[in-house]
A and B are shown apart, each in its own frame.
Chain A
Amino acid sequence: MSAPILETRALQKNFGALTVAQNIDFSLEPGTFEALIGPNGAGKSTFVNLLTGLVQPTSGSVILDGEDVTALSIEARVKRGLVRTFQINTLFNSLTVAENVILALDEFHGQGWRPLPSPSRRRLIRDEAYEILGRLGLDPWGNREVRELPYGRQRLVEIAIALALRPKVLLLDEPAAGIPSTETGTVIEVLENLASNLAVLIIEHDMDLVFRFAQRITVLVQGAVLARGTPDEIANNETVKSVYLGEGIHA
């Protein structure tokens, strides 16, 4: 097994008396497609927030590619390849789909400080944006304002922005939420194909999909890791069955 690209050590977060992350030791290897599952309010989104720096942990540390990034800002972690999408769309709604991606590409290429326009560069970046949109089947929508898109498509723009940042680690917070269930499979397939050269951690509620696509699964309940393992191991784990999967949820 190769060295983990992302790790947490004894990661803890309390909101007052409420513990939402409890002593979490987690690791993610390059090239893996891993799922994070757990009931609503288990602390999945908070875990992603802790990893990316949107929320500061009470104690413990986050290690990215061997470097302790716990004290680093959100943007510093992004620059190091730790990229996320949001459970609720956080897009630039009055911009077009392509412009949303271009904004991210500009930052990625270090153009964000460039105070003068450059038409030739612009064309290159535009082409790159459309190449990314193409991968998600969004290119016909490139010129539309984000808010004109159906919610399901908007979810894909979230992912397109993330891809523009060339992540080493991609954290997807319920990317399929709001996408018609007939299409979620295709989305996950697209994402899975990306995973060959990056590590993906996906939060997803559809257990059929999770068990079909994930190479590893982490089960989070009340802020604590209940179990980690391959889909087979998780499906046969008695504790998981009784606490989470057993509650009439599939698998």
Chain B
Amino acid sequence: MARPIPRNEPVKSLSVSYQGAAASSTWRGLAMGRGGSDLVIAVLLGLAALATLLFGEAYWLLAAQVAITMIFALSVDLLVGFAGIVTLGHAVFFGLGAYAVGIASVQFGWTEPLSALLLAGAVSALLGAATGVLVLRTRGLGQLMLTMAFASLVYEIANRAKPLTGGADGLQGMVVSPVAGLFEFDIFGLTAFVYTLAVLIVVVIFAVLMTRSPYGRSLVGIRENRVRMQAIGTGVQRRLLSIYIVSAALAGIAGALLAQTSQFVGLNVLHFSLSGEILIIVALGGAGRLWGALLGAVVFTLFKDRLSALDPAYWYFWLGLLLAVIVLFAPKGLIGLVDRLLALFRSKEAA
């Protein structure tokens, strides 16, 4: 199989143009130092969120969905883009998180949203630990197969466990208490938007710090050269398992947010197509770059929303076209485009 995901190999021309910044920015080779693009994207996304909050009443629900997808994309980017673990079954953790808060609410009356989020993260982390031990024994295609296998197993279990999950009809009757006892989930989606945005911000800060930490860099080291990491004394297997668990927990939190904000859980949260979509999002944004994954999630979700509204029957066709264009003309993803634009500006400035 030929490179399903554009890996993050710094472009020669880029690294040359960044030479000047080299002294101050360590780890630029690890793709964490290209602060320019990151900053631009962060500012743009921040402004977009603010504008939506102030003027985009009609888009609050959509924006909540975007924020949820961003968290999910981050969880996958940490795994795929940073640690180099491949997965086509990450929806299993997203879905499990959604069902965890759904079932907790319907069956056990656990309606407090923040603690339920933590519950979802913990449940998904547990499944991550259990499956990760096996998944990480394999590499490449075998790894891909195993992640898919576990995901379809859980999908089928959720489908059969009708009394608990509602099966194909979905989980009905979910109740979510006001956030912090104050903010009721409203039909405009204001609470949903602000709530998901707040969680997103916490997750982004956590992820950014982590990728800049020795731990985060060791993950990239493992992706780049596993044997060398062992030869400097890294317990590679345990390190990978840890990020697998963290990633599962984040995906679970994202799923839980979807359940809480829509107060419904359907089987689609566990479906294979969701695992595929999230991988596409990460590739679209630029794997191994957190801000790329975030940008990818925004662009993908908005396109999907617009296209499916404009052309409900054929929107997958347009989506495919968009992806083909991106892959052909921006192999390093959208953030790679931003890199190139910035480099262009800089060389103009210098001239």
Contact = CB atoms under 8 A, between A and B. Distances in A.
Nearest to A101: B232
Nearest to B216: A115
Interface residues on A, range: 35 or more
B26 A114 contact: no
B107 interface: no
Interface stretch (A16-24, A87-95, A193-201): A87-95
A104 B232 contact: yes
A114 B217 CA distance: 10
Interface in A48-83: 52, 54, 73-75, 78-79, 83
A54 B239 CA distance: 18
B225 interface: yes
A84 interface: yes
Interface stretch (B47-55, B141-149, B205-213): B205-213
B39 interface: no
A203 interface: no
Contacts of B221: 92, 103
Interface SS of chain B: helix
Contacts of A246: none
A112 B228 CA distance: 14
Interface in B211-244: 212-218, 221, 224-225, 227-236, 239, 242
B33 to A, nearest CB: 10
B231 A94 contact: no
Nearest to B23: A143
B225 A112 contact: no
Contacts, number: 106
A78 B233 contact: yes
Contacts of A145: 15, 29
A73 B232 CA distance: 12
Most buried by A among B10, B23, B215: B215
B224 A92 contact: yes
Contacts of B242: 113
Contacts of B26: 96, 98-99, 102, 122, 126
B231 A112 contact: no
Contacts of A220: none
A95 B29 contact: yes
Interface of B: 9-10, 15, 22-23, 26-30, 209-210, 212-218, 221, 224-225, 227-236, 239, 242
